[in-house]
Structure 1
Amino acid sequence: MANRMNPPAEGQEKDVLLVLDKQQGKVSAVKGIDNEGNLQTVEPTQSHSGEFMQVDRNSDVFSNFISNFFHRYQDTEGLALFRSKATEAEQDAKAIEDNHRNPTPEGDRRAEMLRVPNPDNNGGRQDFRFDPAKINWEDLKKVGITADTLKNTKDFDRVMRGYKSRNTYTVSGTVGGFYLKPTDVKLSFYQAKDGTVVPKLHGVQMDEKLLQRPYNGHEFPKQEQGNLLGTGNLGGIIQIKDPKNGEQIPVFVSRDRYTHELEYMRADKWKCPDTVCGVKVSPEQKAAFEAGKPVKMENLQFKDGTKRSAYLQVSAVERGLEFLPRSAVQFLQQGQQPAQQQVTRLKDGKGVEFNGHVQPGVQGKSSGKVQPKDVIPVSESRTQVAVNSGGKTDEATKQTKEPLKQGQQKPTAKQKEKQEKAQDKSLKADKSKKSRGMKM
């Protein structure tokens, strides 16, 4: 006999669960689960509506069923779960089937609006923060990002839940009358006051003095600056001014290891989990985590069946605990602020030498293995590298065909003279072509 959920009380919104079998391209309505744990389904037609499993979307029963569904079935890659109003189940099922066979942008938007996301590993409820149907995907497509792009990199669910993407994307194009040069960014979304969902592009910040400036009213001492550079996390809790109302709030602060942005997360709103990778968090470890300290945990059980030790710490970027990368662990083991690793005589895209310092994420590489892409050029070499390696120009360099030399910010007098002569020659050639008559 099927394990059915009781219908919700009168007046509450009733939902029906639809399941798509991707291999067969068929959508069915969920009827329940039998005693052996098998999913029972029926045709999603009105004639079977009395058998539909109907639930209150806000109930714990619904959340538990979704969590159990994704954890119990081994082949969830071949299934997709959707939520529909009981009165619209047949119509939505047909739309999902049609779009599965012949995908369209409009069909994708509708399907994503109905899709039930897979909960993360802690089994908590993970409804999207943003409605994918309210996002202007056409504008994002103009700079090179689509919903499929995010799904292929497994960032879609993450950004829909309000997080910044883990991956970077190369964007370029014309938006709102402005031309965006090719650049690598991370992506997030936020809700504007009018209710629209707006994309936010997080480019790499090259400001070397960012940590030396006040951050929402807090000035970082040397040790905190060192922690942010070394581990990416502050290592404690500080008080800052809430940008929304100016009140003092306790926060964790972290530095994105790629974009170098500073982000904060309220410490009084975060709760430490009871277990991590199958290992119980002790009261001492929990207290350390809640204070923003890094903690080494032993015998963590990973998905590949191995048990390993690892350092974890609260990250404002990840909105919770993160596994610290190797460079951060090396910093902790050294117990000192990292001196920025300097490199010299690297060659840009035109073979011209430049100097710089290694980005924090690749600190520790031997100088012989450091690649130009791993290095932030020193200030006097930035224009040179941008022009010679990235093909970028400004008013001072757009006519320069010769590569810029080390530390060069603008064309030399000799290069400028060559440019002017080349321009004059080009103009004379154009006039000569226009003045020629037709030969008989």
Structure 2
Amino acid sequence: MDEKISNDDKKVLLVKDVKDGKVKAVTGMDEKGNIQTAEPTAKNQNSLFAVNTNEAMLEAFFKKMVEQAQQPTHTGFFLMTEKMLDKLVKTDLDPHELELHRVNPAEYLEKVQQRNPQKTQGGGDETAQSTFQPMDVNKIDRQELQKYGIAAADLEPHLKAMSYGHKSPQMIPLNPELEPGIRVPTKGRVSLEEQTDGSLKIIPHYWQEKPNLDAPFHGVLLNEQDKENLRQSLNAGRVVELEPSPGQKIPAFVSLDRLTNKLEALPVENISIPNKIKGADLSEGQQQRLGAGEKVLVEKMVSRTGRFFDGYIQINASDKKFDFTYEGLDRNRYSIENKEIRSQQKENAPEGETEKTKQLFIPKKLLGVELTEKQQEYLKAGQATYIRGMLKDDKGEPFNAWVKPNPEKMKFDFFRWNPDKAKKQDAEVKPAEESKTQVAVNNDGKTNEATKNVKEPLKQEQQKPTENQFKQEARRPAAKKSGLKI
């Protein structure tokens, strides 16, 4: 079977229905994991399920068939290229020819496991990533740091995340040497790549001002729907068949890095969809849709504090994990149940411990910013830490501030100074000094002589209008004076 489908043409799956014995082509799988079929005719060809770009779905389907071995809904599975299907249709699906393409679900799953031994088989939770042993960061080639102009102090807070194959949670200053003696200051994220000799190579992911979605990406052009999805959710929303070199087809998830504005790809074969996410079981249909790159609603997940919540999840190729979003969902859906859970937790708490004296949960992301390990350590210790690029600004512009946990109110307080060093502390949300003018103009509507005529929101650290803002204001017609004519 493998020899017959080893080319890069579109591959399709045929099944024989138990009830009527007819052979039909698979078009997809519904939310409950039931397969959807159509007559294998030229008219339905465009709607047929593409096996080579949806291996995760095929695995989920075959797993279900193995589980249903005693009471199968379909018998006989035939895997072939679309071109071969055309030939078989012309012979009215000749049984002898069709038999040459039969595939055994159990054997197929075993071969997939042998081909990808590092790939998890759907038993995990809360991660879309393969099992991975952390890399020894002591093996980083120090010459690499010098090559890219990376200061060890800038890299250190990100090493733990990088040791697990992730990019640095935040961008760091880079000063790469393009030619001997010539360096270009920039910024970006960095990751690690293990070499055959055991050393770790630095991989830079340079920042660019705007995403370039019109240029070829690994040999393919994204369609308009892909571009719209990337702008809206940072994910393409489907499996894209990349072609990094002529004839080499690699089905992959594609996402936009929210910090660097660069496109990133993650091969489908490196991903296995788990059986459950945050305590919520996933149906075969949900697993199939996640494996196809779609955004999927998962209900009644359990947070780290034990509360129920709903959310949309989707594979993010850039971060190699699931994205969680909540647009349009009722965040109070489980308020009664969660209230009972909180009450129960309070009753079961050790004597003298109340909800307020419990430790404030420290997230990995705050106001849109991925926190470094060091920042999380400071916050867990109840100390202040300086965070750049948060998005509390009402006009969507980032700002910087000192952040400190407030265990009494179970929230975070924000300051423009370091509250651990200042005598006076103010719990009101205040930006750092370089963002003071920005937030005053954008949020509070305040102005000074320099900004009184500016209509556009100010950028971070901006204290006065840019030259372009001055020109735009100069082009506006002068306001007419009101009053009685004499």
Fold shared, TM-score > 0.5 on shorter chain: no
Name the TM-score, length of structure 2 as normaliser. Answer: 0.39
Quick one: higher RCO (CA 8 Å, sep 6+), 1 or 2? 2
Name the TM-score, length of structure 1 as normaliser. Answer: 0.43
Q: Is the helix fraction higher in 1 or 2?
A: 1
